[in-house]
Chains A and B, each alone.
Chain A
């Protein structure tokens, strides 16, 4: 994989990003309703002032270009609903919380998923296989917004082990992280098991055995790399899933993260916050997919992108 491919890859995303900006911008603006509709009691002159302040009185194309111009300086504009705050400020405050939540969720999902999947592949058709694989079916079938409330009921309200809302000390972070990561732990364990099981039947593993290598060498040196490729390629979609899962998790556990802001702002028609968060999501997902692709090439020498 040459540097050329990397550059090309980044460059193709520029028009896509541009298209997304345009699409989201006009979707929001063509939709009926505006940010100040619900404030019925606002006198017309104040409404006019508000519209003027946020340039909502200008023709749409002018607003669009104004937005693009600001975006070029990474300025996402002022929030319509949170007066005196910019979207950048809101993101700077809320994103670290979401990032922390997502990181914890992903880390425990990877650790548990890899261990459980590896063990299941090592002892297939045993209890080590059946138990985690049955649990993982639940993880795949049950959505975050069922797992979350159930875990609150069980660990928070009935057993009273853990706090059920907020995001400050570590006990308050346990349940949200477990909730968000559950589905990914389940997927990772299944992919690990499947990948390792498939590798076991490959001819080159038979070759390794015919060379008299130890089983542990065969597992670590010859199986892991190929066996974990499915997990690696799953990380891209998993990351996107984490972001949407965070919307639910943050809502359920009342965590002041970016996801909750996104939902609230969408319902409030806070145009700029919705735009800004959505663009941040797109960028994150693009960056993550990009990293996964690079990782894939590092792991599988046969894959070359032109």
Chain B
């Protein structure tokens, strides 16, 4: 019966894949998404670039040509050369090494802070959506109110007064990004709650926490992954923003934001000190955005936003 109604074509909507048949449920969903992702050229390029970058970041201590702290004041802002591929900075340090180490920090902050935000957002959203009723509306009210607050200013104040501690940075940046995640997960959970398998579990007396963490959260994974790919660049950007203002990681460690800020100081004399870290940051953000877009399209072919 339901088969006779599956439409091959409705009105003008031709974007639908008419051959898409879901044979094996969950597994093919992910396989399918991956296949669609591979078709998106920009996403593949972005993903490859990021993979390469992560490998470089992991290998940095072994492959970096110089010590990132080694100063040589005789090599003040040198132009790029065979010895120093990206030139040197204001303290005569090898810029290529500094960019490598900066990437390590930027990527680490981006990923860890995003994980913090995912952990908070998913838990909060799942609890809110699952419990429903007054608890839900109260919890979402709080989110609404927090939405109106410019967190970045709070983070600035925190960073200024509690020292530029990198762990504080993860938490503070993660705290700024969980609100949208909470909303997305709540929406998912509310629709999942009505599904048979959740109601079956409830009727069998499974504990609430088990239902939330074993049944509901795993089924929200798609949107969560998509949103996380969008969170990572935002967080990297915020960290770079703080570092640029001198409020991020502390010297002698440097993230891309710090390097860009140093580059601005001497850009009239040697623009490469600015351009190389700016390029590293820019390419990373481009790649993350393309990968994120590709993932969103792949996991959600209909392009629904909410």
Across the interface, B264 reaches (CB within 8 A) one of A143, A149, A244, namely A149
Answer whether residue A33 sits at the interface, using C-beta atoms and an 8 A cutoff.
yes
A27 touches B281 (CB 8 A): no
B-contacting residues, A3-59, CB 8 Å: 12-13, 16, 20, 23-24, 27-28, 30-33
A141 touches B289 (CB 8 A): yes
A-contacting residues, B220-279, CB 8 Å: 233, 237, 240-241, 244-247, 257, 260-261, 263-264, 267-268, 271, 274, 278
A-contacting residues, B1-42, CB 8 Å: 12
Answer whether residue B143 sits at the interface, using C-beta atoms and an 8 A cutoff.
no
Answer whether residue B205 sits at the interface, using C-beta atoms and an 8 A cutoff.
no
CA of A12 to CA of B268 in the docked complex: distance in angstroms? 50
Question: Smallest Cβ distance from B265 to chain A, in angstroms?
Answer: 10
CA of A266 to CA of B247 in the docked complex: distance in angstroms? 10
Question: Smallest Cβ distance from A234 to chain B, in angstroms?
Answer: 13
B153 touches A278 (CB 8 A): yes
A-contacting residues, B102-149, CB 8 Å: 145, 148-149
CA of A262 to CA of B278 in the docked complex: distance in angstroms? 25
CA of A28 to CA of B161 in the docked complex: distance in angstroms? 6
Closest to B261 in A: A145
Among the stretches A69-77, A94-102, A221-229, A246-254, the one at the interface with B is A246-254
CA of A27 to CA of B156 in the docked complex: distance in angstroms? 11
B260 touches A285 (CB 8 A): no
A152 touches B149 (CB 8 A): no
Residues of chain A lying within 8 A (CB to CB) of residue B286:
137, 141
B160 touches A267 (CB 8 A): yes
Of the listed residues B152, B157, B240, B285, the one surrounded by the most CB atoms of chain A closer than 10 A to its CB is B157
Known: A146-B282, A244-B150. A153 touches B274 (CB 8 A): yes
Question: Smallest Cβ distance from B290 to chain A, in angstroms?
Answer: 8
B157 touches A266 (CB 8 A): yes
Closest to B244 in A: A145
Closest to B283 in A: A141
B-contacting residues, A146-172, CB 8 Å: 146, 149-150, 152-153, 157
Residues of chain A lying within 8 A (CB to CB) of residue B246:
267
Across the interface, B158 reaches (CB within 8 A) one of A27, A243, A248, namely A27
Question: Smallest Cβ distance from B275 to chain A, in angstroms?
Answer: 8
Residues of chain B lying within 8 A (CB to CB) of residue A281:
150, 153
A248 touches B245 (CB 8 A): yes
Answer whether residue A68 sits at the interface, using C-beta atoms and an 8 A cutoff.
no
Residues of chain B lying within 8 A (CB to CB) of residue A244:
150, 152-153, 241
A145 touches B157 (CB 8 A): no
Known: A146-B278, A244-B152, A248-B241. A140 touches B161 (CB 8 A): no
Answer whether residue B62 sits at the interface, using C-beta atoms and an 8 A cutoff.
no
B257 touches A145 (CB 8 A): yes
B241 touches A145 (CB 8 A): yes
Known: A145-B260, A281-B150. A152 touches B245 (CB 8 A): no
**Chain A positions 83 through 110: 1 when the CB is less than 8 Å from some CB of chain B, otherwise 0:** 0000000000000000000000000000
Residues of chain A lying within 8 A (CB to CB) of residue B161:
27-28, 30-33, 269
CA of A269 to CA of B145 in the docked complex: distance in angstroms? 28
Closest to A244 in B: B152
B160 touches A149 (CB 8 A): no
Closest to A259 in B: B245
CA of A278 to CA of B12 in the docked complex: distance in angstroms? 51
Residues of chain A lying within 8 A (CB to CB) of residue B237:
143
Answer whether residue A296 sits at the interface, using C-beta atoms and an 8 A cutoff.
no
B263 touches A289 (CB 8 A): no
B-contacting residues, A103-140, CB 8 Å: 137, 140
Question: Smallest Cβ distance from B40 to chain A, in angstroms?
Answer: 14
A146 touches B148 (CB 8 A): no
Across the interface, B285 reaches (CB within 8 A) one of A23, A142, A262, namely A142
Of the listed residues B150, B156, B261, B282, the one surrounded by the most CB atoms of chain A closer than 10 A to its CB is B150
Closest to B288 in A: A141
Across the interface, B157 reaches (CB within 8 A) one of A141, A274, A289, namely A274
B149 touches A149 (CB 8 A): no
Question: Smallest Cβ distance from B192 to chain A, in angstroms?
Answer: 26
Residues of chain B lying within 8 A (CB to CB) of residue A240:
150
**Chain A positions 274 through 302: 1 when the CB is less than 8 Å from some CB of chain B, otherwise 0:** 10001001100110010000000000000
Residues of chain B lying within 8 A (CB to CB) of residue A157:
267-268, 271
CA of A36 to CA of B102 in the docked complex: distance in angstroms? 33
Known: A143-B237, A157-B267, A282-B150. A247 touches B278 (CB 8 A): no
Known: A146-B281, A150-B278. A251 touches B245 (CB 8 A): yes
Answer whether residue A207 sits at the interface, using C-beta atoms and an 8 A cutoff.
no
Question: Smallest Cβ distance from A197 to chain B, in angstroms?
Answer: 11
Question: Smallest Cβ distance from A2 to chain B, in angstroms?
Answer: 19
CA of A281 to CA of B233 in the docked complex: distance in angstroms? 25
Instruction: Return the 7 tightest CB-CB contacts between A and B, nearest first.
Output: A31-B161, A141-B285, A266-B160, A145-B244, A146-B278, A149-B264, A240-B150
Known: A247-B245, A289-B148. 9 other contacts (CB 8 A): A16-B148, A27-B157, A32-B163, A141-B286, A141-B289, A149-B274, A153-B274, A157-B268, A244-B152
